[in-house]
Structure 1
Amino acid sequence: MKYHFNEIEAYWQNFWKENKTFQAENNCNKKKYYVLDMFPYPSGAGLHVGHPLGYIASDIYARYKRHKGFNVLHPMGYDSFGLPAEQYAIQTGQHPAITTETNINRYREQLDRIGFSFDWSREVRTSNPDYYKWTQWIFIELFHSWYNKETDKAESIDTLISVFSIEGNKHVNAVCDDNIDAFTAEMWNAYDEEQQQKILLQYRLTYLAETEVNWCPALGTVLANDEIVNGVSERGGHPVLRKKMTQWSMRITAYAQRLLDGLQKTDWPQPLKDSQTNWIGKSVGAEVKFQIPNSKFQIPVFTTRPDTIFGVSFMTLAPEHELVKKITTPEQKEAVEAYIEQTAKRSERERMADVKAISGVFTGAYAEHPFTKEPLPIWIGDYVLASYGTGAVMAVPCGDERDYAFAKHFNIPIPNIFKSISSPPLEGLGEDFAFSEKTGFVYKNSDFLNGLSYKEATIKAIEALENMKQGTQKTNYRLRDAVFSRQRYWGEPFPVYYVHGIPKTIDSKYLPIVLPEVEKYLPTEDGQPPLGRAEVWAWDTLKCEVVSNEHINNKTVFPLELNTMPGWAGSSWYLFRYMDAHNDNQFASQDALDYWQNVDLYIGGSEHATGHL
């Protein structure tokens, strides 16, 4: 008997479609089970083998759960905004709206023919205005929020303004920019609107700031770390440079500890949890201030080993550190500038991974040791990253392998502060090799720390630094705030306009702010966003609508933001939209959120475990 699979499969696929066999119900009496897949970029003429590889596994389990009597939500959609979809359009010489629609139609045809049990009634596309309306809404909510450390949650920016107006910022315990000037309530109330808004930007969960970014001239945009492989762009293999640009950022560092705590409750394989734990990178230590003699400049340094303070023999700054150009002597200027240019061609990940190469340049400047007052030469080296800690390290070559290798390479003194008390005693620790252990020794050549153990010396060192007002205990995270701007066309427009350079958000009742038509959508090598070519891209605050740029008067009509959001803006919350995909009033109703709660099964490549952190 012959199996006519074409006829049989076509019959059942049509049956499933007509009878809505796989359509999930909200608020069903059955137990719920939510199976989520990584929805695809429509960035090719068809699916690749990696798509069904994961989808087949999740589909088997979704069918199994239905047979067990569960109300199964197994949706599918398309991550259709962002760099992958736009690059495909550029390569094929078409508009991204056309290629995205064409590719989605082909993907859907292929997914249907494979026979997946997706609930297509909940399909989402991140590039549809009815979807990115809510992505824009989320951005507005973040802009009008700050993170209160006392309550350990985000709160309305209005509560912060209220505190400022009553008592200033002296007692505010917030996740915010570093080195914010203190002010009283009287000072706050005397500030004009522009001054107040600039201060609030230092506290908002989405904020504008000059940031060191990965810039790809060929792609004409900023790239996230996970979009760079071996120093070049993942898409196209183009060179990537480090440069400073004013960008929107998202203050995700506010959630570092909560992310770590949440991992303890997550049912994931331990290697995945370990990779995320290491990526978040919690470190407990101290921030120490090193004064540069005869200047107003100080170098703050975060260290997990304040106990080794007497082993410091030099300082190393990241090449892109803001003080480098200010403190470099004329004699060293040429060498320093050449090194900065050379380092800018390497991504942070490449620099972190390269533990063998040793390079650096002396700035000609010195810092003062907080206790001994001895001069410490200040170098720059690419093994120090501007995005971690303060972008500076107090180099203790006797206690750190990279500092030891750097000191050996450049013939910098290596003072030893470790005295072995183990039996038999360890030979050569701190002299023949870097000694990073925390037991088996006491300190020597360390003034008031002599004879103390690691724990005792750590407490004493921090106490002394705090008494001298040259340091304080601190917890640091490797996780950085996420750069949220892209100088590309195919992405969510920011619901933001500018009044004398100060960002203002559009009232959410006027969303979505729809991506405008432009004559040329190609990116530019100089970083000017393609939306700068839009002719109808200004916000009329009286009519509350987008109008022609000809009407900009900076009184009632103002310019709109020209950057777009990154590709992961829409994909960061799609799991919630699936719960209530056709709700025009909320991104998802509270009832739907309460019923579906969280994803029960999520299948995807482990390379995504840290990709969006």
Structure 2
Amino acid sequence: MSKYHFNEIEKKWQQFWAKKQTFQAKNESSLPKYYVLDMFPYPSGAGLHVGHPLGYIASDIYARYKRHKGFNVLHPQGYDSFGLPAEQYAIQTGQHPRKTTQENIARYREQLDRLGFSFDWSREVRTSNPDYYKWTQFIFIQLFESWYDKTADKAKPISELREIFASEGNGKVQAACDEGVIAFNAEDWKGYSAEKQQQLLLQYRLTYLAETEVNWCPELGTVLANDEIVNGMSERGGYPVVRKKMKQWSMRISAYAQRLLDGLEHIDWPQPLKDSQTNWIGRSKGATVSFKVEHSEEVIPVFTTRPDTIFGVSFMTLAPEHELVQKITTPAQQAEVDTYIAQTAKRSERDRMADVKNITGVFTGAYAIHPFSKKQVPIWIGDYVLAGYGTGAVMAVPCGDQRDYDFAKHFDIPIPNIFKDVDISERAYVEKDHTLITNSDFLNDLPYSKATAMAIARLEEIGAG
């Protein structure tokens, strides 16, 4: 029979740790500080699953290691107990969410204690408690009452912007704001109604109302994140999810993109992690090109990081949800376009971007006019283009982008080659350096950097970029 009575030993020391507050971090200490933060669990009725200790054990080992190395370690724990999961569980069990949440938390705490983690429970956080979520509301209000001054490269009180508008209008204001903000002078501003002034200020605030594409679940009556959708169905409940436009609050966090990127240079993180953060921040340098729609007053703006490849454009692709799709689609293509839009609405953005094997799209029947060659450019819709990314439209250069290349091959769209002495018979050429541009009129024989600068200059000259 084993002489190691682990139940007794573990119970003894866990009681000792709780009584002595062994793992409580001191606010005032001469020791160097170290912070170990776990992702707070949602307290479901099922209790902990194997994934919880899988992550918590590793961080707990490290927290204990740092304590032994002489650090004052803050290792808190809490519960992500606010939101849809708690609401749905309460509905399913027919109980008030406060009751079910408290019961589930008690169960989680018991299990976490028995596992012997070195959490500082004096710092416990519950996101469903008013003393917690009042701070998320506080943050929202601070953003709402602020605008981002590009000149100073920081946020400022919205009251200062009001003063600027009242004294000189918005002509000299360099701010992160909505596209298409109207220009006005001080007299105009003073003549606007209070409602009109608030509408204009909303175009500058760091939190603002906007029509955006969302994952809508009618059965749950709420918007879902991409992580909460599996194969077009809600992860919780298995209900259908569709893409639709809704007016909701958004945050102008893109105003901080450059500061976030700059900050990555000053932290001690592995390069692959920095790269993933850079991609997530998603700040791109390039040019906006305006394509006029043939036989229409409509114009399609496209942002591209490769203006040097503009003569390689052989088609355009709009997101199925793009606001111009219904305006430009011809009667002959309407039924096919509507069917495709309905099918796409059932897929999340993540599914669409991850699916590189299935190539789908529909021709709208409309054409854009190339800003330089004046040739017709067929306008398609495809689910690999997202309405919420960039302008929701791409100028497709199949010789220089693999997804455009595959799309063109699939639908038998021409693939003009604009790269000198490069073979594109089997795949797109995606490199920027060590090649010259060809078959591109005034850009011929120029390298990437010079061709980019020349293309942007010419676009500006003709008012197309």
**How does the TM-score come out when normalised to structure 2?**
0.93
Pair 403,66 (structure 1): closer, same or farther in 2 beyond 3 Å: closer
Matched letter for residue 245 of structure 2: K
Query: What pairs with 1:240-319 in structure 2 (closer than 5 Å)?
Result: 240-319=241-320
Question: Between the two proteins, what is the percent identity of the paired residues?
Answer: 74
Map of 2:105 onto structure 1: 104
Return the offset for 1:313.
Answer: 2.1
Return the offset for 1:193.
Answer: 0.9
CA distance in 2, matches of 1:361, 1:315: 11
Return the offset for 1:271.
Answer: 3.1
Map of 1:66 onto structure 2: 67
Pair 76,403 (structure 1): closer, same or farther in 2 beyond 3 Å: closer
Q: Alignment partner of 2:79: what SS?
A: coil
CA distance in 1, matches of 2:426, 2:55: 51
Question: Is 1:448 equivalent to 2:442 in the alignment?
Answer: yes
CA distance in 2, matches of 1:146, 1:436: 38
Pair 62,439 (structure 1): closer, same or farther in 2 beyond 3 Å: closer
Return the offset for 1:432.
Answer: 5.7
1:398–1:431 Cα contact (<8 Å) kept? no
Map of 1:44 onto structure 2: 45
CA distance in 2, matches of 1:30, 1:252: 36
Structure 1 spans left out of the alignment, 5+ residues: 421-425, 472-613
Pair 72,433 (structure 1): closer, same or farther in 2 beyond 3 Å: closer
CA distance in 1, matches of 2:430, 2:71: 54
Matched letter for residue 449 of structure 1: L
Q: Alignment partner of 1:366: what SS?
A: strand
The ranges of structure 1 where at least 4 consecutive aligned residues each deviate by more than 4 angstroms after the TM superposition are 430-433
Query: What pairs with 1:214-613 in structure 2 (closer than 5 Å)?
Result: 214-420=215-421, 426=422, 429-430=423-424, 433-471=427-465
1:291–1:297 Cα contact (<8 Å) kept? yes
- Cα shift readout 1:174-220 (whole Å, capped 9, x = no counterpart): 22212212222221121111111111111111111111111122332
1:242–1:344 Cα contact (<8 Å) kept? yes
Question: Is 1:85 equivalent to 2:95 in the alignment?
Answer: no
Matched letter for residue 91 of structure 2: I
Structure 2 spans left out of the alignment, 5+ residues: none
CA distance in 1, matches of 2:278, 2:229: 21
Return the offset for 1:226.
Answer: 2.5
Q: Which of 429-438 and 197-206 deviates more? A: 429-438
1:414–1:431 Cα contact (<8 Å) kept? no
Return the offset for 1:117.
Answer: 2.3
Matched letter for residue 434 of structure 1: A
Question: Is 1:183 equivalent to 2:184 in the alignment?
Answer: yes
1:443–1:449 Cα contact (<8 Å) kept? yes
Return the offset for 1:431.
Answer: 5.5
Pair 121,400 (structure 1): closer, same or farther in 2 beyond 3 Å: closer
CA distance in 1, matches of 2:368, 2:221: 39
Q: Alignment partner of 1:365: what SS?
A: strand
2:294–2:367 Cα contact (<8 Å) kept? yes
Matched letter for residue 173 of structure 1: Q
Map of 1:123 onto structure 2: 124
Pair 139,469 (structure 1): closer, same or farther in 2 beyond 3 Å: same
Map of 2:12 onto structure 1: 11
Pair 469,19 (structure 1): closer, same or farther in 2 beyond 3 Å: same
- Cα shift readout 1:85-121 (whole Å, capped 9, x = no counterpart): 3333333332221111001011111122222222222
Pair 437,18 (structure 1): closer, same or farther in 2 beyond 3 Å: closer
Pair 463,383 (structure 1): closer, same or farther in 2 beyond 3 Å: same
CA distance in 2, matches of 1:355, 1:142: 38
- Cα shift readout 1:199-251 (whole Å, capped 9, x = no counterpart): 11111111111111111223321112232344333334433211011111122
Matched letter for residue 462 of structure 1: I
CA distance in 2, matches of 1:102, 1:408: 58
CA distance in 1, matches of 2:264, 2:94: 44
Pair 72,341 (structure 1): closer, same or farther in 2 beyond 3 Å: same
Matched letter for residue 136 of structure 1: Q
Map of 2:194 onto structure 1: 193
Pair 75,408 (structure 1): closer, same or farther in 2 beyond 3 Å: closer
- Cα shift readout 1:511-558 (whole Å, capped 9, x = no counterpart): xxxxxxxxxxxxxxxxxxxxxxxxxxxxxxxxxxxxxxxxxxxxxxxx
CA distance in 1, matches of 2:357, 2:114: 51
Question: Is 1:163 equivalent to 2:157 in the alignment?
Answer: no
Q: Which of 82-91 and 163-172 deviates more? A: 82-91
- Cα shift readout 1:339-391 (whole Å, capped 9, x = no counterpart): 11111111111111122322222222221111122222211111211111111
- Cα shift readout 1:381-409 (whole Å, capped 9, x = no counterpart): 11211111111111222332222332333
- Cα shift readout 1:42-66 (whole Å, capped 9, x = no counterpart): 1233211222222233333333333
Say how many residue pairs are matched.
Answer: 464
Q: Alignment partner of 2:122: what SS?
A: helix
CA distance in 2, matches of 1:124, 1:440: 55
Matched letter for residue 44 of structure 1: G
Matched letter for residue 66 of structure 1: R
Pair 17,462 (structure 1): closer, same or farther in 2 beyond 3 Å: same
1:401–1:434 Cα contact (<8 Å) kept? yes
Return the offset for 1:303.
Answer: 0.9
CA distance in 2, matches of 1:433, 1:28: 61
CA distance in 2, matches of 1:29, 1:452: 62
Return the offset for 1:430.
Answer: 4.4
Higher RCO (CA < 8 A, seq sep 6+) = 1
CA distance in 2, matches of 1:113, 1:341: 50
Q: Alignment partner of 1:85: what SS?
A: helix
Matched letter for residue 326 of structure 1: K
Pair 433,97 (structure 1): closer, same or farther in 2 beyond 3 Å: same
Question: Is 1:23 equivalent to 2:17 in the alignment?
Answer: no
**How does the TM-score come out when normalised to structure 1?**
0.72
CA distance in 1, matches of 2:244, 2:147: 28
CA distance in 2, matches of 1:62, 1:312: 55
- Cα shift readout 1:495-514 (whole Å, capped 9, x = no counterpart): xxxxxxxxxxxxxxxxxxxx
Return the offset for 1:23.
Answer: 2.1
Matched letter for residue 458 of structure 2: A
Matched letter for residue 255 of structure 1: Y
Pair 154,229 (structure 1): closer, same or farther in 2 beyond 3 Å: farther
CA distance in 1, matches of 2:241, 2:343: 12
Map of 1:588 onto structure 2: none
